Amino acid sequence: MSIPNRDEVEGKVDQVKGKVKGTVGNFIGDKEMEVEGEADETSGETQETWGKFKHGVGDAVDAVGDAISDAGDRINR
């Protein structure tokens, strides 16, 4: 498993902060805080998903590079 990228980590942090904010808002009866928390949580999910997408693209590019390198090695034998 590879190391998560910045978007994945920041997205996860924003999800947790949003969850806490939404829960506190609900507990104290502050609808605005509750809605802001839900929005932060959703934004974090989006950012994490974007990070995972970028991670997948990077892994695919690495795999193509490895395949080309392996093919070159076989040709040079």
Of residues 24 and 74, more confidently modeled: 24
Q: pTM score, two decimals?
A: 0.76
| Encoded tokens for 24 | 């506190």
Q: Residue 4: phi, psi to the nearest 5?
A: -65, 150
Least confident of 6-10, 19-23, 41-45, 72-76: 72-76
Confidence of residue 70 (pLDDT cuts 50, 70, 90): confident
Q: What is the DSSP letter of 29?
A: T
How many Å apart are CA 62 and CA 66, to the nearest integer?
6
